[in-house]
Every structure is written in C-alpha cells, then in structure tokens.
C-alpha cells in the first residue's frame, strides 16, 4: 500500500511553506475541469514585466484562465502514474528564478528576511521588495493549481468586477481579506484573492454571498486596491449627481410613459445608467430576499437601505449619502411623482416586472433632515394567492371562521396592527365564496391586489369618493357580499351596520389589539351598542409570528424558569424548540411567518351583553370563559407543534395582554 506523506499533502494543497518542497504534480482543485497552459514571462519593459510596476492605464493581456473549483482535492492528491519530473521547479523561489522574474541575489535577501521573521510568506516579502507582483502571483497560482487573472480596472463595475456581490461582501471585508468578487458563472461565484493558502476563506465568502460554491482565482493586491478605489470614486466624490439625474430623465422617456405601464427591470431600457441599474438592483434584491417593504433612509454620511423580512428590518445596502438625490429622483420618475418637490410628502405606485413576476410597489416619500425618506410596500400577487388552510388556523377555529364568512348577513371584522396579514385573510376568505352565484364587491384604499370575478372600487378622498360614499353606491348594485377596506369613521360604520341589518354580509377591518376591544371601538366611533350587538357576527384578531427555520430548528432542555412556564401552559417541560440559525435563514433561526388567531363568535347571550355597553376587561373575561382562545394561547399551541418559539410568542402577543 502506498504511503502518504503529510508534508507532501499540505504542499499539494498550497498550505505548506512557500519556500519548502512541493512534491506531487500540483494541487488539483477539480480534475474534471482543470487545464493548464504555460504562462510566458513578460518582458521587463512591458506592464507587469520584471523590474517594473504594473500600469493600470495600459491594457494587460490576460493569461489563460483555467476553470477551477474546490471540491475534489483530497481524492486526487496521489496518482503514481503522474509523478512530476525531477527537472520541474519545486518551490516558488525556484520557479521565479526559472522564469526570470527574480534574481538569485533578491531571493537570498528575501530568504534572510523570512529567517528573521518566521511565518512570513515568500510572496509577500518579494512584493514588498519591489519584485513584479504579476509575475509572483502567476507563479503562486501555478504552484497552487489555480487560475490567475488581472482585474480590468477600466471597466470597473461595468465588467471588471461584480458590484452586486461586492455589496454583499462589503468593501470593508474585501479590504481586510484582500479579495474581490469578479462575476457569477451559473450558480458559482468567481472571487479573486491574493492568497492561495487560506483554506477557511472560501467558506466564509460562500456564506456571505449565499451561493452554493465559490471558484477562487489568484489576483494581485494592486488590482484589489485599485478596484476598491474605483468603488470609492463611483460612490463618493466621483459621482456627478447632475449628470446622473440627466441620465435618469432620459431613461424615463423610454421606460415609463403611463402610470399603469409595467416596467421590466430586466430590459435594456431600464438599465441604461448606473443609477437606474442600482435602483433595479435594490428592487430585485428585495424580491429575492422575500422582503415586504423597502426602506431608503438618508443620514449625514451614508444612505441606508433596509428590507423588512418576516416582520423584522435588516440593513442590506449602504450606498453613500451623495447618491440619495439621484436614487430618490429615479424612484419618483418610476412612480410618476414630481421630482422637483422635496418639501412635501408624496405617494405613488410603481408597477414592474422582476424575474417574470409582476409586482406593485406602493411608494411613500417623506422629507427629513438630510433629504427624503422613501418607503415602498411590495405587493406580490404570488404571496396573496394562498388558501385559508395555509394561513395557520387550527381545525376548530377554521371551521368556525368558514361558517361566519358564509353567513347570509351581518358584519365580520378582522383586526390587528398594520402588517398583520388582515388583507391576506380577507382575500383568502373571498376566494372561498361562490363568485358565479354571488355578487361580491369591495371598497379599498388602495386596491392592493386584483381578484377575478369580484368588483373592486378604490376610494379617492380628494374628489369626495370616500368609503361611505362608495358603500352607499354599492348598496344600489344588488350586492351579496361587501368588503370594506377599513371602518375609520362614524359614517362608514353606520352604513356598514345598516347594510348588515338589511341582508348583506359585510367584511371589514379595524385597528385594535384584540377581538373583544373591537366592540368598544365601534361604540367609541359613535354606533349605538344595541346596533353593534345586533349586526356583529364575529371578530377575528390576528398577528403574524416568525416560523422556525425547518433546516436548523432543534430541541434542547429548557432552563428551570422556562420549564416551569411550559408546565403552566400544559406543554412538556423536558424539551423545547429553539432557533439555531443557518445560511438559509440569515442566521436568525426563523424563515417565513404563520398567523396567530383569536376568534370571537357573537351569540345571543353576547349580543345582550354588548347591548349594555360592557367594560372592555369584563367583556374580555366573559369571552374567554365562553371558550374564546386568545392570541397567546394559540401561540403556545404552535410552540408545542414546533412551529415557533416561546420568546417569539411572548414578543408578538405582549401588546394584547
């Protein structure tokens, strides 16, 4: 049996001493893809030649770039039939001498430095002493079995390196590790690095980029520093805002002609300038990450782009503050707003296509100290097309809810704060109704999603088209079911009650913390308690809670105080589900959301209680005694099923208790 020498293996992997032995042919990154061709040494009078520093202004011919991936190194290290010839260079110094990049005197000096400072790399010492870095890195790449490339600094973000990947890695990380993301090859990211022996760097880069694999190529430190300088020039002082705005206005004529016209973010017209590309990147990245909102916030020194993912805000991009006017103007143009008005808030809507998906972006601008803050709500038809069974109802609550929305008349309310999924629940409920035999109409502000077979009306308060006015008009349209976007005032509430009492089913929303307090809210709006009791059928309070990541969730033994809490809630106290965190969930431990529900079904006894205008606390206690399951109780059930954690339930339901 062949014996393996650990020093030979380390050298083959590029982890041994630069000046040591390098037996074996080379580090085989991927034998199926790896190809080699001799790299000619460059004359001294040429860029990158011996004795001269590379000139970024002069194009440099790229060496052949073999495809290489990390993966099968260990399986391919030992092949007796492919033993290296004795005449081949065995280390970096010998290889550089053979190529004329290095003189024996310089090599001797460099070796003396390494003896005085153990642990230093020969390549680093040689570059510090003025040896041609291109030649040194070419030799290091050959010994490690890696491709060598030059970064095209003239192309910069337009082809020299990848700006999107750079944003994910961050310039700070690239400066610290001396790496630069170059491009994507399918699902694999190609990253240039100055070192070939950092075995942990690939995993770190892969995790930061969120890609399946990374292909490493060797580059020079000169090119990495130059690329970072290019980024700085394009994001700081070098940006001419006036010029960028001119480009945006020119693109507006081609991209957006009408407010309702869709903008394809993958088209050439929509990507005709740096600012337009950057705005498209912001939207595309938000869609990829599954964000519900995009926040673009200005400050003194930087422009912060945050995404709301699963109900939490995450800072994703940090362009310079000088880009704020250009980005804001581009978004205003897409939303058909006034780009010259920066003193007043504005609201608009952007319809676009991202990766074949039609999106509506509801945009709002707000003047602030350092400019305008922009918030965009992403309305994705894909996310709204869900069934009631997918929302998180338990079987009993779902059965009661289906009975309520199929009632012939009455008011059914869905309550909760903004972003709690009320619209999704109502739309899913409407889709269960028979649209062929029923006349279903809605009044919304605005119409967020379009439903087939349903008449949808949008309010326009500036011209007098309020909820109340639209509701009066709908009552003359022979409706069976009416959805009112929100009951905000006495007039709307009064008409909704009259509609419910005259044989119509009215669905609507309120902003209350729990189901019982909705009764008090209607009375405070101005309705008589006996009318509320007569018309109200059911109230559904809901929240959205983060779901445990299926890839990394785990069970562990709870702390004593947590075990006591679990026992009080009727759950097993020996094990508890916890959020661990992995690449798929951005290290949060949560992926996706599920609903918590508190359903109050009004019966005859409760109608009598409501007619007497009860105290909120007393009414809530009575509802619980009669079998109403609270939001927290529903959350505890989901903890027992391994859908979420106790901490998450307590965080979301704190305001309702």
pLDDT tens, 330-370? 899 888 888 888 889 999 888 888 877 778 889 999 998 88
> Looking at residues 89-111, what average pLDDT do you find?
82
Query: Is pLDDT at 405 greater than 90 in this prediction?
Result: yes
Give the 3-state secondary structure of residue 365: strand
Q: Is 567 exposed, middle or buried (0-12, 13-18, 19+ CB in 10 A)?
A: exposed
Report the C-alpha gap between 455 and 452 in whole angstroms: 8
Other C-beta atoms within 10 Å of 252: how many?
18
Q: Report percent pLDDT > 70 for the chain.
A: 79
For the record, the structure tokens of 594 come out as 């599920």
pLDDT at 464: 84
Give the confidence band of 61 by pLDDT, cuts at 50, 70, 90: very low
| Residue 55 and residue 47 in contact, taking contact as beta carbons nearer than 8 Å | yes
Omega before residue 446 within 30° of 0, cis: yes
pLDDT at 7: 55
> Looking at residues 96-122, what average pLDDT do you find?
83
Query: Is pLDDT at 498 greater than 70 in this prediction?
Result: yes
pLDDT at 81: 40
Give the confidence band of 11 by pLDDT, cuts at 50, 70, 90: low
> Looking at residues 113-130, what average pLDDT do you find?
81
> Looking at residues 385-398, what average pLDDT do you find?
88
pLDDT digits (tens, 9 = 90+) for 250-303: 333 233 334 444 555 544 443 446 778 788 888 888 888 889 999 999 887 778
Query: Is pLDDT at 235 greater than 60 in this prediction?
Result: no
Report the C-alpha gap between 514 and 139 in whole angstroms: 70
pLDDT digits (tens, 9 = 90+) for 515-533: 999 999 999 999 999 999 9
Report the C-alpha gap between 234 and 106 in whole angstroms: 39
pLDDT at 86: 41
- CA quadruple 411, 415, 418, 419: dihedral sign: negative
pLDDT at 90: 64
For the record, the structure tokens of 292 come out as 């519900």
Within 8 A by CB and 6+ apart from 641, the residues are: none
> Looking at residues 10-28, what average pLDDT do you find?
45
> Looking at residues 160-169, what average pLDDT do you find?
83
Q: Nearest Cα to 93, choosing from 138, 139, 145, 130?
A: 139
Q: Which residue has the higher pLDDT, 73 or 346?
A: 346
Query: Is pLDDT at 645 greater than 80 in this prediction?
Result: yes
Report the C-alpha gap between 104 and 102 in whole angstroms: 7
Give the confidence band of 402 by pLDDT, cuts at 50, 70, 90: very high
pLDDT at 74: 35
Task: Assign residue 119 a region (left: φ > 0; alpha: ψ between -120 and 50; beta: otherwise).
Answer: left
Other C-beta atoms within 10 Å of 199: how many?
12
Report the C-alpha gap between 656 and 625 in whole angstroms: 17
Give the confidence band of 118 by pLDDT, cuts at 50, 70, 90: confident
For the record, the structure tokens of 522 come out as 């209607």
Helix axes of 241-255 and 274-289: crossing angle, nearest 10 degrees: 70
Q: Which residue bears the tokens 């309070």?
A: 541
pLDDT digits (tens, 9 = 90+) for 302-313: 788 999 998 888
Query: Is pLDDT at 543 greater than 50 in this prediction?
Result: yes
Q: Return mean pLDDT, the chain.
A: 78
Query: Is pLDDT at 394 greater than 50 in this prediction?
Result: yes
Residues in a beta bridge with 350: 361
Give the confidence band of 504 by pLDDT, cuts at 50, 70, 90: very high
Distances from the Cα of 209 to the Cα of 176, 186, 335, angstroms? 16, 14, 31
Report the C-alpha gap between 581 and 549 in whole angstroms: 8
SS (H, E, C) 307-351: EEECCEEEEEECCEHHHHHHHHHHHHHHCCCCCCCCCCCEEEEEE
Least confident piece of the model among 227-241, 476-490, 525-539 = 227-241
> Looking at residues 132-147, what average pLDDT do you find?
88
Q: Nearest Cα to 26, choosing from 77, 69, 68?
A: 77
């Amino acid at each position: 049996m062949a014996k393996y020498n650990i020093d030979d293996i380390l050298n083959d992997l590029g982890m041994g001493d630069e000046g040591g032995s390098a037996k074996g042919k080379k580090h085989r990154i991927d034998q199926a893809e790896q190809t080699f061709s001799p790299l000619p040494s460059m004359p001294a009078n040429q860029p990158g030649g011996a004795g001269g520093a590379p000139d970024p202004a002069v194009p440099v011919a790229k060496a052949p770039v073999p495809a290489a991936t990390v993966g099968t190194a260990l399986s391919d290290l030992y092949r007796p039939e492919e033993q290296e010839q004795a005449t081949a260079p065995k280390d970096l110094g010998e290889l550089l001498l053979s190529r004329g990049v290095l003189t024996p005197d310089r090599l001797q000096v460099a070796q003396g430095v390494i003896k005085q400072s153990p642990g230093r790399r020969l390549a680093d010492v040689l570059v510090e002493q003025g040896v041609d870095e291109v030649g040194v890195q070419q030799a290091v790449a050959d010994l490690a079995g890696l491709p060598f490339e030059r970064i095209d600094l003239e192309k910069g973000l337009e082809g020299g390196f990848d700006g999107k990947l750079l944003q994910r890695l961050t310039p700070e990380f690239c400066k610290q590790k001396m790496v630069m993301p170059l491009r994507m090859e399918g699902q694999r990211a190609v990253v240039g690095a100055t070192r070939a022996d950092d075995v942990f760097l690939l995993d770190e880069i892969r995790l930061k980029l969120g890609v399946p694999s990374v292909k490493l190529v060797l580059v020079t430190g000169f090119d990495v520093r130059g690329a970072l300088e290019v980024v700085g020039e394009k994001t700081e002082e070098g940006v001419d805002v006036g010029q960028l705005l001119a480009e945006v206005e020119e693109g507006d004529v081609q991209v957006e002609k009408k407010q309702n016209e869709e903008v394809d973010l993958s088209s050439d017209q929509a990507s005709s300038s740096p600012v337009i590309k950057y705005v498209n990147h912001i939207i595309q990245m938000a869609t990829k990450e599954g964000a519900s909102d995009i926040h673009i916030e200005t400050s003194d020194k930087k422009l912060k782009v945050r995404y709301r993912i699963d109900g939490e805000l995450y800072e994703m991009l940090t362009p310079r503050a000088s880009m704020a006017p250009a980005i804001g103007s581009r978004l205003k143009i897409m939303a058909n707003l006034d780009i010259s008005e920066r003193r007043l808030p504005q609201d608009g809507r952007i319809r676009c296509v991202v990766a074949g998906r039609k999106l509506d972006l509801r945009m709002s601008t707000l003047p602030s100290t350092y400019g305008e803050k922009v918030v965009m709500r992403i309305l994705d038809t894909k996310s709204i097309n869900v069934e009631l069974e997918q929302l998180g109802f338990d079987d009993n609550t779902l059965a009661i809810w289906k009975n309520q929305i199929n009632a012939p008349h009455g008011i059914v309310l869905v309550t909760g704060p903004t972003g709690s999924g009320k619209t999704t629940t109502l739309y899913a409920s409407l889709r269960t109704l028979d649209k062929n035999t029923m006349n279903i109409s809605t009044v919304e502000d605005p119409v967020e999603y379009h439903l087939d077979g349903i008449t949808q009306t949008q309010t326009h308060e500036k011209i007098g088209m309020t909820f109340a006015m639209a509701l009066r008009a709908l009552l003359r349209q022979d409706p069976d079911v009416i959805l009112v976007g929100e009951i905000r005032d006495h007039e709307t509430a009064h008409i909704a009650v009259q509609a419910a009492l005259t044989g119509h089913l009215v669905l609507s929303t309120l902003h209350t913390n729990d189901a019982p307090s909705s009764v008090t809210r209607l009375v405070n709006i101005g309705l008589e308690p006996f009318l509320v009791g007569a018309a109200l059928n059911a109230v559904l309070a809901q929240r959205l809670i983060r779901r445990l990541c299926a890839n990394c969730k785990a069970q562990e033994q709870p702390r004593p105080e947590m075990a006591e809490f679990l026992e009080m809630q009727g759950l097993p106290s020996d094990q508890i589900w916890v959020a661990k965190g992995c690449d798929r969930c951005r290290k949060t431990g949560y992926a996706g959301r599920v609903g918590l529900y508190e359903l109050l079904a009004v019966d005859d006894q409760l109608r009598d209680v409501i007619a007497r205008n009860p105290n909120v606390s007393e009414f809530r206690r009575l509802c619980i005694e009669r079998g109403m399951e609270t939001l927290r109780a529903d959350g505890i059930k989901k903890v027992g099923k391994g859908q979420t954690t106790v901490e998450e339930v307590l965080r979301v339901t704190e305001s309702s208790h």
